[in-house]
Amino acid sequence: MAENQQKSEVAKREEEVLAFWDEREIFKKSIEKEALKGEYVFYDGPPFATGLPHYGHIVASVLKDVVPRYRTMQGYRVPRVWGWDCHGLPIENIVEKELGFKHKKDIRAYGIEKFNEMCRQRVLTYVHEWERIIPRIGRWADMEHAYKTMDMPFMESVWWVFKSIYDKGLVYEDYRVMHICPRCETTLSQQEVSEGYKDVKDIAVSVSFKLKNPEKIGLSGEVYLLAWTTTPWTLPGNVALAVGEGIIYRVFERDGKKYIAALDRSESLGIQDQKMGHQFMGKELVGLEYEPLFDYYVTDEHLKNRENGWKVYAADFVTADEGTGIAHEAPAFGADDWALLKKYNLPFVQHVNYDGTFKPEVKAFAGMEVKPLGEDSVRLAADIAVLKYLQEHGFLFAKQNIVHSYPHCWRCDSPLLNYATSSWFVKVEEQKVELLKNAEPINWSPEHVKSGRWGKWLEGARDWSISRQRFWASVLPIWVCETCKEKRVFGSAAELEAASGKKVTDLHKHVVDEILVPCACGGSMKRVPDVLDTWFDSGSMPYGEEHYPFENKESFEHTFPAQFIAEGQDQTRAWFYYLHLLGTSLFDKNAFQNVIVNGIVLAEDGKKMSKRLQNYPDPMEVVEKYGADALRLYLLASPVMQAENLNFSEKGVAEWKGVLTRLENVLSFYQLYRNELVHEASDESAQVLDRWIVARLRQTQAEVTSAMEAYNLTAATRPFAALVDDLSTWYLRRSRDRIKGDDEADKKAALATTLYVLREVSKLIAPFAPFVADYIWQALKETGDVESVHLAHWPSAPSARFLSKLFGGAADQNIEHMTLARGFVTQALEAREKAGIKVRQPLSLLTIPADSNLPEEYFTIVAEEVNVKRVESKGETVALDTNLTDELREEGVVRDAIREIQSFRKERGLKPGEHATYKGEFSDVQRKVIEKNLDLIQKATTTTIEL
């Protein structure tokens, strides 16, 4: 909190409520109380504790708090054990930065054990801050017994998951082109790659490859094939050119040289006006040989399949939509290129190291990084160097700057490379039918995510690369014999202990890599060096949290799948997906039944929230200023709960604080008069206002419950503002005189109804605004009540039949009639304003349409609100008689005098019945009227008037 910002009264009161919960262990009691409906399982995606919670965490925490609170009040037991995500690149990058490391080799030199232990120490840096902030926003979670993905029980369950799907034949090793991060030196999955696309400037080049045998197609002299690429750095690895069999190519001349390119690319290449030559179909070019641009590999006699290199091949992925219609093929750096290599047994040339640097044999560029992180001048340095080489050797035909979408590392922001390497995969495509079948019953909020973002990702999902070449993570529990290559997969620490004869107390890389397992052949088995993608940890969360199947086997199997999960929309491709994939792989089940997907909180101007720009208020400062309840209600009622973006506005939080203040004012007014008359909470009053506010309460109960059952938190939250407004600015304002008055029966009915409504509102709003809910409950708690509103039962709206019997008509008629009456009031007040007559000046008559069917019991309410003597139902429109008689004018003066004296008393803090003297300045007309009505005015105000 800023030093100059005072903590608000509402924030202080919330902290008192929080202290009450802690002292009385209310959360613990809510878990331990009788749950007639059984267990409601909620999976909570564990966050990293490497930074403080931001608005994204708060949004997720609020919605993850509302649903469990609601289900608890409905009679379920809802365990809420917190978890910490501990593994992976986020913490590795932090430690690397702290140690000043630039490359993976720095970690090896430092020592993997020391590095991993430092990760273990640093990963929970901000835990204590989280343990302070999360409860302060009203979220209940068992943070004391939090599971950690780095703890051995969790990691052992991950091993069990891996072995289970391995034994089902769903895991395999393959060599293929994948995205890697050259700085982190690891492969990435399809989902990880999808997170990091950015528009960047790159250089596209058209390069001329000289044909060795142009006579094969009836040409002579210097003939060149024009190929196009946006990755000049891959050109030293070129081993083939590809054409489309059905594409028409033509020859054109420039500077005495002949070039071949697709006919449809003539204009874009600027050659449409050049001298025309022969035309060929792509299939006629197949088999032509050309001279390599670089001689680093063509002379290597040991290069496998060298005889198939540097020729033209047909490929169905080649089009004439861009470039030259001829593709440069470097199979080590492209999936299509790799497929061509496999099909035609092309030579494999990989001229770039795994760390993204040119290999020593690429003499002109040896050691250069091909795509380093940095400004354009740095990032494009290798491309520019290759460009200069091509220009100097006469191979560069054209170049252009382009802007296109390019993938970057989701953690370190480095440009990624397509790179042929070995990886372990989980079969996804083979399970596609089961994945789609199991996804069908899942309920999504908002609904469009199901067939949209989630459904489309699921349909297009490919096999999952699960191995990473890093250090701080769960490991691949695969041991391979160095002699016979036999593999053995372990699913528990006990299995490894039995096979190796070594005690296993930690399952991290630096420990298990030292454990050798004897092989039946007499050799020794050693673990494969890779670790698991940390999303494998995340997808294994349901099992790791329970240490399944080593503990809690029966209870887990009874409650799987979870009834509810929630996260941001980016998790449709991540956590939601991996949970579903592993649930299907293990049990052929969906892992969850209901999902809420939230959007992103942006700064008020629509830009990304930035600490550097300071374009958003600190969340905890907002809590200290407006209270956590107001922040919660603002977020819950906003589009962010419907997977849409929210431009955060303090004004919106302030508006919800105003709603809660009005609710508290109702409570304060009730407490002033609570002890004047013995009464109990009741919803059975026949008085029209009482019937109406109870009907509005019932209506809101039904709306909120229906929306909560549909997991639509926005629709569940918004009705509160209207209910509180009706309770405060209409019901209570219209009932003040009843509560202050001498009619004991009417006063008792108003007090009993107000008490009933406040108690029910306290329960209804409890999951959404837990602090104010318990504040109201504690103020109104009676003998026999539960200790906290959060231990109470959810209010159930009565049936229509009951309401009809109770009110002598359908409940919605009370609402309809009151809405009609308020509409007439609005029209009448507009007529007053138009006539320039203030509301305090009485008028004689208001007429309302004869066909309105408004019951006469509402006429008094309308008359008092509009300040008219009577209301009549006649005619076709609302009409106000604005003629002022002397009697009406005199009554207006008396009312003004009473109002002025009451304001005087209020300013001086005088209590009702406490005598005072008032000396005011009045006009002659006012003086005469006041003298005439002096006894009436003095009695009404308990004030002596000196004229």
Amino acid sitting at position 9:
E
Measure the CA–CA gap between 775 and 762, rounded to whole angstroms: 9
Supply the DSSP symbol for 237: G
> Encoding tokens for residue 437?
């079948």
Active site (annotated) includes residue 928: no
What is the 3-state secondary structure of 253-271? EECCEEEEEEHHHHHHHCC
Taking each continuous run of H as one helix and of E as one strand, the counts in the chain are: 38, 32
Compute φ and ψ for 7, nearest 5 degrees. Answer: -70, 130
Under 8 Å between Cβ of 147 and 81: yes
> Of 190, 431, 571, 699, which is the active-site residue?
571
Angle at which helices 859-866 and 733-740 pack, to 10 degrees? 100
> Of 464, 575, 656, 777, which is the active-site residue?
575
- How many angstroms separate the first and last alpha carbons of the chain? 55
Residue 611 has, within 13 A of its CA and on its CB side, a CA count of 5
* Residue 550 neighbours by CB distance under 10 Å: 15
- 538 alpha-carbon distance from chain centroid: 16
Under 8 Å between Cβ of 465 and 187: yes
> Of 37, 304, 553, 608, which is the active-site residue?
608
Supply the DSSP symbol for 242: E
Amino acid sitting at position 786:
V
Measure the CA–CA gap between 298 and 300, rounded to whole angstroms: 6
* Residue 902 neighbours by CB distance under 10 Å: 14
> Of 535, 692, 730, 777, which is the active-site residue?
535
* Residue 500 neighbours by CB distance under 10 Å: 17
> Encoding tokens for residue 725?
């407004």
Measure the CA–CA gap between 76 and 413, rounded to whole angstroms: 44
Active site (annotated) includes residue 46: yes
Active site (annotated) includes residue 575: yes
> Encoding tokens for residue 919?
């000396």
Query: What is the chain's alpha carbon radius of gyration, rounded to the nearest angstrom?
Result: 38
For residue 912, say if its preceding peptide bond is cis, omega within 30 degrees of 0.
no
Measure the CA–CA gap between 526 and 514, rounded to whole angstroms: 8
Amino acid sitting at position 750:
A
How far are the Cα atoms of 142, 309, 364, 418, 450 from residue 446, in angstroms, in the given order? Answer: 28, 53, 56, 36, 8
> Of 46, 182, 617, 842, which is the active-site residue?
46
Find all residues with CB under 8 Å of 803, minimum gap 6, and list them.
Answer: 695, 698, 810, 811
Please list the alpha-helical segments (H only) found in 393-488.
432-439, 448-451, 453-460
> Of 21, 47, 84, 85, which is the active-site residue?
85
Strands 248-254 and 326-329: unpaired
> Encoding tokens for residue 760?
């029910």
Nearest Cα to 445, choosing from 643, 580, 686? Answer: 643
Measure the CA–CA gap between 590 and 582, rounded to whole angstroms: 9
Measure the CA–CA gap between 490 and 501, rounded to whole angstroms: 14
Nearest Cα to 620, choosing from 86, 15, 125? Answer: 15
Measure the CA–CA gap between 610 and 623, rounded to whole angstroms: 19
Active site (annotated) includes residue 608: yes
> Of 199, 273, 503, 611, which is the active-site residue?
611
- 70 alpha-carbon distance from chain centroid: 20
* Residue 135 neighbours by CB distance under 10 Å: 17
Under 8 Å between Cβ of 768 and 632: yes
> Encoding tokens for residue 221?
């002299």
Active site (annotated) includes residue 274: no
Measure the CA–CA gap between 25 and 760, rounded to whole angstroms: 23
* Residue 215 neighbours by CB distance under 10 Å: 10
Find all residues with CB under 8 Å of 822, minimum gap 6, and list them.
Answer: 730
Measure the CA–CA gap between 448 and 714, rounded to whole angstroms: 15
The residues that are catalytic are 46, 85, 535, 571, 575, 608, 611
